[in-house]
Amino acid sequence: MMKQIQAGSGALFAAFVFVHLINTFLAAFGIAAYDGFQGAVRVVYQAFFIEMLLLGALLVHLVVGITRIVFEPIRSLSTRARWHRDAGVFGQFGVEGGFAGGGGGGAMSRGTETQVFFYCL
């Protein structure tokens, strides 16, 4: 049951990440393409309900993952599952660092990412 819950929350958050990857891909076509796509999808993903849904999915994913780490004995896992678990533990630092660095989403930071992104190119 916990595995299915984690899979569902991961799929929801993966869709959000996919939209961000498309936006990053469009940066290769210039600021107008990047800003245009970002402006179009920002209306959706920065709606309060969607933000809370995504944040909830992320928190559920983390809590279930930590619970599985604590309660599932490592000896019962395949090598692939162990690597997946280790990647999840490592990934939690990225999530926490993203929030600590101000990249926590629209409800938490309203900046001009476009200018910062293109200054880095």
Q: For residue range 7-62, what is the model confidence (pLDDT) as tens digits?
A: 898 898 888 889 889 988 999 999 999 999 988 988 887 888 988 888 898 889 88
| pLDDT given at position 1 | 84
| pLDDT given at position 114 | 43
Q: What is the mean pLDDT of the chain?
A: 76
Confidence of residue 69 (pLDDT cuts 50, 70, 90): confident
Task: Give pairs for 28-32: CB < 8 Å, separation 24+.
Answer: 31/114, 31/118
Half-sphere exposure of 85 (CA within 13 A, CB side): 20
Question: How far is residue 63's CA from residue 45's CA, in Å, rounded to a whole number?
Answer: 23
Task: Provide the whole-model pTM.
Answer: 0.61
